[in-house]
Chain A
C-alpha cells in the first residue's frame, strides 16, 4: 500500500510534468487587421510572422490577415510594413478570439530636434514573390522631384523600370511599353496614366496609400496585359479624426480632406489642379518648351531655323499650321479629383465607393489676323483674309468603383467589385478664313481625332486559407469594353473610323503551397473567353521561392499572358506620332507573352543584394503606318502590321536599408528586339524603348533635421532611324531631283542619357500643423540629354537638330497638414 502511494505520488509530478511539457493539441486561428495608428487606415500587404516559427503571412488589399492552426496559448506576432516601425504584438492565443487590430506607427522622416539613426527608412521593398516591389508613397517626398512628388517617376528609379525620356511618366518595364502594363487604382483600370504630356503621372500622391508593382511573372489574379502590373490602393481616410492638408509648388496646388463618419467610416477627397493657365512659372515654361521640342542644339543659322513646336510621340504635333504657332502662348491646365467613401456595415462587411477624374486641356487657338495668301487663289477666295485657328485637345480618365468586402469566416475573405472606367482623347483643329463683302467663310480646313474607351467590369476575388500550407485564391471577371476611334479631315473625309466592343469573361484559380519549410510554390491558371475572336485563352502561371541558408533566397516564375486591348503608335513622320487604343479582333490578333524569370537574393535587416534575370517572348506586337501599303486598294485595316519580339536582361540591385545614409544602386543589362516582315526586310531591329545599359544610384542622408537626397541615372542612347545618304536622279526632262536614303530601322543610337538630381527637404511641426518644405534641382550639371533627332532635309547641306530634354531645373514645394 505504501509502495502504491509512493509510486502514485511520484507518478503525479511526473505526469504533471509530462502534461506540461507536451504542446497544446488545441489549434486556433489568429485573424485581424493591420492599421495605421494615427489615421486608422488599413495597411495592405504588411508582413506578419509568428515569432519563434517560420510561419507567416501578409495582409490582403484590405489589411486583413489570418494565421491558421497555430497552437493555442500565448504567442507573439511581428509585423512589418514599409515606411512604418516594426510592431511586436503579444497575444493570448485564445480560441474564438475577436479579430486583432494591430496599429503601426509611421517612421518619422524627421522629428524636430531628434536625429534619426537606426530606423528603417526604406522607400522600396522587395516582396517575397519574384519581381514584386513595394514602395512607400510617403517616403517619396524625400526624393528629388520636378515640380511635385510623382509616384510613377519615382518607380522609374527602380531596376527593370526604364524612363525612356524626361517627357514621359509611363513605365517601360523590362522592355515592355506602358500600354502593356495593367494599372489599377482601387480596382479601376486606368488607361491614361499621365498629365502634362507625360511629364507627371495622373495619380496624386496624397490620395495613394500603397503601390505594388509586378515587373513580370504576376499571379493569376491579374490578366489582360503582357508586361507588368501596377496596383495602387487609395487612402480611405481616418475613421476617428478630421484631417486636412494642402500643397503648392511651381506647377500646381492640391488639397486633401478626410472626414470621419460615425467612427465606422470615412470620406476622403483630394483635389489637384495646375495653375499653368493662370501663372506660367519658369518651371512650367521650361517643361513646356522641352516637351514641345523647342530645346534643341544644332548648327543652323537664324535664317534656317525651323519654326513652331513639334510634339513628340503620344501627342499631336503643331499640325499643318505649325509654322504659324511660334508666337502662340497656349493655355494649358490639368486637374485630378479623387473621392472615396468607406463604411464598415458590420464587423465582417466593408463597403467602399471610389471615384477618380483627371483631365488635361490644351488650347492653342489663335486669331492670326490678316494674312496674305500668295501663289494664286482658289476661285471665290480673297488673297487677303482674316484667318483663325481653333485648336483644342483634351484627354483624361474618369472612373468609379464600388466594392463590398466580406469576411465569411476566419479563413475566407471575398471582394466584390463593380467598376466603370472611361478614357478619352479628343482633338479638334481647324483653320478658316473670312473675307468678301459679307465676311463669309472662304477657306476651311479641319481635322478631328477622337479616341474613347468605356470599360465596365464586374469581378469577385476570394482568398481561402484552406490550411496552413495551402492558400487558395480564385475569382472571376466579366467585362465589356467599347472603343471608338475616329480620324476625320474636313468633316467628311474619314481616315479611320472604328467602333469596336468586346465582352470577355475570365476565371482564375491559384494555390500557394508551402511544400516544406523553405520552399513555397504557387500554381495558377487563368482562362479568358474573348468575344471578338470567340476563343478561350489559357494562361498557366507558376512561381517558387526557396529559402536557403545564410539569408539567401532563390526565386523564379513562369507564365503566359494575353492582352486584348493595345495602344497603337500611328507613325507620322511629318506631324509626329499619335497613339490610340484598339481592341483585338480577328484581324488584329491579341498580343501574348511568355515570361521566364529567375533570381537570387541575399537579405538581412540592413542590406539587400538581388539579382534577377528575365526572358520574355512577345507575339502580336502591333504598329500602324501609312508609309507601307500592301496594295493600291489599301484600307485602314491593312495599315496595321503585326510582329514578334524578345525582351531579355539581367538586373542587379544593392540596397542599404537603414542608417542615416541609405538608398540603392542598380544596374540593368537588357535588350528588346522586334521583328516585322515589312520592316528591315524581316530582320530584327531594336525597339525604341531598348536601353542596353541602365544605372541608377539613389541615396538619402539624414542631415540633422534635414533630409538630403540625390539620384543619378544613366542609360544607353535610344535607337532611332536615320537618313544615311542622298542621291540625285536626272529626270527625263533634264531636271534633277534629290532623294534621301533612310537606313535600317532603329539601327543608330542617340548619345547616352545621364543626369544628377538633388533635393533638400524638411518637416516642421507646430502644435496643430505640420509643414513640409523641399528644394529640388533637376539635372544638376545641366547635361543636354537628346530626346530625339530632327532632320531638315530640304536644305543643302542638311540641318540636324537634337531636341533635348530639361536642363538644370530648380523647384520648390511647400505642404501643410492639419494634425
Chain B
C-alpha cells in the first residue's frame, strides 16, 4: 500500500513537473484604429484607418485598411470619403461641397468587416499666435510662474 502510494506520488510529480509553460502573451484580435483630424477651412484629407498589432511585434505602424466605407455627416448631409492613393490607409473627400468651419458638429461613421464605428466632434477654433513648420512649432505662453 505504501509502495504503490509512493509510486503514484512520484509519477504524478514527474508528470506535472514536465508540463511546459504557455506563452504569456494572449492571442489578440485585430481592432480597428481610427485617426481623423478635421481642420477648419481645410479640405478633409487626414483620416487614416489601420489595424492594431501584436504586443510581440517591434513596429510602430499597424496594417492599413483601404477597403472601409467612411462617411462624414454634417447638418444631415452625407459625405462619403474615398481611399487615397497607395496602401496608406488614408481617406479623403474628393468633392468641393464639404466645408469645415469652427463650431461645426461632425459625425464620422466607418463600416468594415461587419463592424460599424462612429464618433462625433465639434470643430474647435484654431490656436492663436501659433506657427508651425517642418521642424519647429511656436506658441504663446499659456501661464507664467
Binding site for B on A (CB under 8 A): 297, 661, 699, 701, 703, 710, 712, 722-730, 732-734, 736, 738, 740-741, 743, 748, 751, 754, 756, 780-784, 789, 796-798, 800, 802
Contact = CB atoms under 8 A, between A and B. Distances in A.
B58 interface: yes
Contact of A726 (B1, B2, B53, B137): B53
B21 A751 contact: yes
A701 B33 contact: no
Contacts of B52: 724-727, 741
Contact of B60 (A297, A728, A800): A728
Contacts of A728: 60-62
Contacts of B137: 733
A729 B56 contact: no
A796 B35 contact: no
Contact of A732 (B1, B37, B53, B58): B37
B24 A800 contact: yes
B97 interface: no
A703 B134 CA distance: 83
Interface of B: 1-2, 5, 9, 12-14, 16-17, 21-22, 24-26, 28-31, 33, 35, 37, 48, 50-58, 60-62, 132, 134, 137
A727 B22 CA distance: 25
B112 to A, nearest CB: 15
A781 B2 contact: no
Contacts of A789: 24
A723 B30 CA distance: 13
Contacts of A712: 9, 12
Contacts of B24: 789, 800, 802
A723 B24 CA distance: 11
B16 A783 contact: yes
A797 B61 contact: no
A contacts with B: majority SS: strand
A725 B1 contact: no
Nearest to B132: A733
A701 B132 CA distance: 81
Nearest to B48: A730
Contacts of B30: 725
29 contacts: A661-B1, A699-B5, A701-B2, A701-B5, A725-B31, A725-B52, A726-B53, A726-B54, A726-B55, A728-B60, A728-B61, A728-B62, A729-B35, A730-B35, A733-B137, A734-B134, A741-B31, A741-B52, A743-B26, A751-B21, A751-B22, A756-B9, A756-B13, A781-B13, A781-B16, A783-B17, A784-B21, A798-B55, A800-B25
Contacts, number: 82
A297 B22 CA distance: 12
A781 B26 CA distance: 27
A723 B13 contact: no
A703 B3 CA distance: 13
Contacts of A756: 9, 12-13
A50 B22 CA distance: 59
A36 B125 CA distance: 86
Given A732-B37, A741-B52, A781-B16, A710 B9 contact: yes
A731 to B, nearest CB: 9
A727 B55 CA distance: 9
**In the A-B complex, the 6 residue pairs with the closest CB atoms:** A725-B52, A725-B28, A800-B24, A781-B13, A724-B28, A781-B17
Contacts of B14: 781
B35 to A, nearest CB: 5
A734 B135 CA distance: 9
Contact of B57 (A754, A780, A797): A797
Contacts of B58: 796-797
A721 to B, nearest CB: 10
Nearest to B1: A661
B132 to A, nearest CB: 7
A748 B50 contact: no
Contacts of B1: 661
Given A725-B31, A756-B13, A797 B55 contact: yes
B126 to A, nearest CB: 12
A701 B6 CA distance: 12
A722 B53 contact: no
Nearest to B30: A725
Contacts of A699: 5
Given A756-B13, A784-B21, A724 B29 contact: yes
A722 B26 contact: yes
B118 to A, nearest CB: 16
A727 B17 contact: no
Given A661-B1, A661-B5, A725-B53, 20 more contacts: A699-B5, A703-B2, A724-B26, A725-B52, A725-B54, A726-B53, A729-B33, A730-B35, A730-B48, A741-B52, A743-B28, A754-B16, A756-B12, A781-B16, A781-B17, A782-B17, A789-B24, A797-B58, A800-B25, A802-B21
A235 to B, nearest CB: 35
Nearest to A737: B60
A675 to B, nearest CB: 22
Contact of B55 (A701, A724, A780): A724
Nearest to B22: A751
A699 B1 CA distance: 13
B13 A780 contact: yes
A798 B60 contact: no
A699 B52 CA distance: 51
Nearest to B24: A800
B48 to A, nearest CB: 8
Contacts of B48: 730
Contacts of B13: 756, 780-781
Contacts of A736: 60
Residue from B52, B58, B137 whose CB has the most chain A CB atoms within 10 Å: B52
Nearest to B137: A733
A797 B60 CA distance: 11
Residue from A725, A732, A800 whose CB has the most chain B CB atoms within 10 Å: A725
Contacts of A726: 52-55
Contacts of A724: 26, 28-29, 52, 55
Nearest to B18: A781
Nearest to A723: B55
Contacts of A725: 28-31, 52-55
Contacts of B29: 724-725
Contacts of A740: 55
Contacts of B54: 725-726
A684 B35 CA distance: 30
Contacts of A732: 37
A797 B54 CA distance: 9
Contacts of B62: 727-728
Residue from B24, B53, B56, B137 whose CB has the most chain A CB atoms within 10 Å: B24
Contacts of A727: 31, 33, 50-53, 62
A730 B31 CA distance: 17
B39 to A, nearest CB: 9
B67 to A, nearest CB: 19
A299 to B, nearest CB: 9
A309 to B, nearest CB: 21
Nearest to B27: A724
A686 B29 CA distance: 20
Given A661-B1, A732-B37, A733-B132, A748 B26 contact: yes
B84 to A, nearest CB: 14
A796 B60 CA distance: 10
A780 B9 CA distance: 11
Nearest to A740: B55
Nearest to A782: B17
Residue from A730, A781, A802 whose CB has the most chain B CB atoms within 10 Å: A781
A733 B58 CA distance: 23
B123 to A, nearest CB: 14
A722 B54 CA distance: 13
B28 A797 contact: no
